[in-house]
Amino acid sequence: MNHIAKKATVTAIGLLLGTYMYAMVIGNAANSTIVSSPDYEALKVETRSKKENFAENESQKEEEITTLEKGLTESDSLDEDELSAEEESTVEADYEEEEQEEEDEETDSERIERVCQKYKSSLVEEPSKLSYHHFHVDNRNKLLYCFIPKTASSLWKAINAILNGKTSETNASKINNYTAHFVIQPELLHHYPAKTQETLLESYYKFTVVRHPFYRLVSGYRDKLNPGKKWFKKTYGTKIIRKYRPKATVKEIRSGTPTFSEFVDYLTDPKTVAVPKRVDDHWTQYHRLCHPCNVKFNYILRFESLKEDTDHLLSSRNLSDLVTYKYIAPATNAKKVNRYIRQLKIEKLLQLYKVFEIDFELFGYDFDIKEYLT
């Protein structure tokens, strides 16, 4: 009930009570039988007394009504204040919750440490058993870059060559992929003595670039097998078709162009999974190339935010003036990836995820099977 309604109700109640009491007084007087003058005089006194009492009662009721109205007004004001306070408290609580969520969000290093503990038996290796073939050394700027194929490795190999002084070119985009991968020879951590490796891993700034595992697989399949490169088609494609395509013709086998589903059959085959060293680097799991449970990376770049992350790294290391590059959007986008992944049966999709599950968890990529169901 609002303030005006409350006031009207109280006033009405007061008037009704007053009218009722006045009627009682007049009624009693009218119904009295005047038998004698003394009785009449007594009745007059009694009536005057009742009128005075009535007036006094009326005055009291007016005071009560005023007090009640004041109380209602204060109550309404109090309710409004309390509501505002409650709303303010809710907003403040929501804000604090958002702040807490931001504070509680895992950093890359925290998440990697947690996942490494979860899979400790299979991820943490003895240093002597580790291979550092994928770690490029930049002694000029004290950087260690672990390259992962199909995660902008061509760009970062070119940047690394410029920073190391292995080329006079300063624009990384003008160094073609062939030159970046095969002509310019980087310094690899693998070539250093064990003691030096340990020192560099401890003191140099370590980083890598990662990408959603499924996007990387589709990109690798399209680049190496369909339409692909001759060496990859001959080395992997022909074998995949021969094994996973029933009644394949000689022509089909020689084409070296397996379907994406056949490619996934190969990746999820227990024999392939059991011998990961035989799997090409372009579809080997991240953790087998860069050992994130043994190497504490300072920075993880995301292929999905490559330009921002690359600019940030160069700027934070005071290297922005030494190198330039032109960002080019990747050819393998979400639409293309979904078209390939949706070719897989649910059971096969789940098997594929299982093969790369640790990479998904280590680098915070989500897997939602509903995303790929048609």
Q: Report pLDDT digits (tens) over 229-267.
A: 999 999 999 999 999 999 999 999 999 999 999 999 999
What residues pair up with 207 in beta bridges, in sequence order? 145, 299
Q: Decide: pTM greater than 0.85.
A: no
At 30 the pLDDT is 42
Mean pLDDT across 5-28: 43
With b for 16 or more beta-carbon neighbours within 10 A and e for fewer, the 133-155 pattern comes to ebbbbbeeeebbbbbbbbbbbbb
Cα gap 289→189, rounded to integer Å:
13
With b for 16 or more beta-carbon neighbours within 10 A and e for fewer, the 241-261 pattern comes to beebbeebeeeebebbbbbbe
**pLDDT tens sequence across 39-76:** 545 545 555 655 555 555 555 655 654 554 455 445 44
Q: What one-letter code names the amino acid at 264?
A: V
At 214, is the pLDDT very low, low, confident or very high (cuts 50, 70, 90)?
A: very high
Cα gap 354→110, rounded to integer Å:
22
Q: What is the phi/psi pair of residue 371, to 5°?
A: -65, -25
